Structure 1
Amino acid sequence: MTDTLTCANLSKSYGGVVAVRDVGFTIAPGEAYGLLGPNGAGKTTTISMLVGLLKPDTGTVVVGGADLSADPMAAKAKIGYVPQEIALYPDLTGRENLRFFCRLFGLPRKAVRARVEEVLDLVGLADRADAKLDTYSGGMKRRINIGAALLHRPELLILDEPTVGVDPQSRKSILDGLERLVADGMALLYTSHYMEEVERVCDRIAIVDHGSIVAEGTRHELVALVGGADRIELTLDGDVDTALAKLRGLGGVTEAVRTAAGSVRLIAEGGRYLLPSVISTVDGIAAVTAVEVVEPDLEATFLHLTGNTLRD
């Protein structure tokens, strides 16, 4: 089976600052691929190169067999792009917006009406189709924004933070719709600040940091990178540096670092059972004012690889 998207060796610099370094991955038909990374990691720059908004310094992008550099019109015709910002006209109705974009995509005039109705049904907005966009809720605007990207039946749908600022009901509707599209064979590239969304929607996930992919795989494969280790977060009052040095020598602790917030993060096997030893190790050096034990999950893997929470 031929991959819908193949990108390789993508790099982009602004002056002396490297935004993306040697990024490459593939997405097959009917596969959802997620990009996770802290702010400034290079996700949006990568997407901008994939859709042709930015020219890469190096690298190739092939969509549905069409090379974006050699034949940009053919490659772009196979992409549906949903940007972070709503890219629609607020003074037009939902139906008028979709009709306008049908013409931009070059759909035959006789096919426009039927396709608009199909998409309105798909995003669940047929009952509000004739209301102006500026009367829509945030979630409705997000759904019609996705609908506009689907009008020309793309092979690849790229979504950059598609649920920012929407209510839980609209978020569920969007995610349900995306899962149906993938089940029908569409390839999906998804970025989000919501870890649970990426875990739910995506078959494979790439963790991006400082412009590079630092890990890639299924959720299970990524979580396995930290093995069976737990993450222990300690807030200490006292001589933190000395306490940290002692904790690094404690049996069962594989990693001990000081976070940007000033707390101490430990990676350890059987964290809950090790906790009494952790507390006794720092006794007399620093007081433990708060403690949290987090068992392995995608969030723990992300923290382990990037040193940041997703919203940092």
Structure 2
Amino acid sequence: MTPAGLKVLCLDGGGLHTLFSLRLIQRLNAMFPFLNDVDAFSGTSAGGISALILAAGDRPAERIQVAIDFWSDSRYFTLNLPQHAFSPLSTATYTNHEAKKALEALLGDVTLGQLKRQVVIPSFELDNEGRAGRPRSWAPRIFSTLSTREPNTDHKQVAVDVGLRTAASPMGFPIYEGFVDAGIYANNPSMCALAEALRGDIFEPPDIQLFSVGGGLNRRYVASEDGDWGPRQWVLDLKEPGLLLEMVFASGVEAVSFQCLQVLGEQNFFRLNPAFQDTVPMTNAWLPVIPVDLMPNVVEKLLGLADAADLSKALLWMESNWGRQPRSHQTSAQAERSRIVTDLTPP
């Protein structure tokens, strides 16, 4: 554990928008080296896969370009042919076979417990099979090596499988091992990470610093004040397809940031999610993936937008707060927390 307590980096979901997040982090780390001090990475969907890639290296700062190169390679998004061509409404757009191969080439068969940093990766389980005496239902599922809850077998989970579970976007990719994309409830994983950190009374809010990075804020709004709207306007409008779903996704992301800020305070929480200065193609929330032929253009555009984003506030927060001594009293309890974090850190 670093002198400032537990440091967590969170990455939103959003498909290729994770490239925007990664380039922001890369730029900020060049200004103020902080990545190698991160104790735990958390991410949803594509952000979850990025978090796993960063957590797999001894020095996460050296893994940023690896993650950017991974997402810049369109092999991850391989069309589900010929099934999707003949039945586009009843099959996923992309196959997860090539996605798995691409991830295995990068992560191998490493388990969560063998990663070099702790991780918190949410997913959504379609059938909990009534385990632990719970009613049988679908339910959120968080894979975490940060929590000390007992029993916790998540450290035995294969990282590639966890990555495909968090990123199995409905309609975009097939269901993977009974799981789908966590973006349906936690596109911003910050509260999931905070909840895991607080479980077991090991950490208190003053001990935790959480840096949350989004995939870019679209300048979206509805000008109508009293429109008598139905499904056509909210869901089926060709000019604004999936407007309602996009609004639900975006509002949930920002609500989580507000909640984390209230719990941790301005010194311990920062949200970096610059507004786009230009239109980004195919960014509607209901469109889980981007056509292969458009990917090179979208990749270039997202990286360019990230290069142009203003990081001055994030840099100021880092300089003022990252590495600051935690406000919690330095007692035997603090020493115990330090011991436990040391025990949690993989060899």
Kindly name which structure, 1 or 2, has the bigger radius of gyration based on alpha carbons: 1
Higher relative contact order (CA 8 A, sep 6+): 2
Q: 1 or 2, which has the higher helix percentage? A: 2
TM-score between the two structures when normalised by the length of structure 1: 0.28
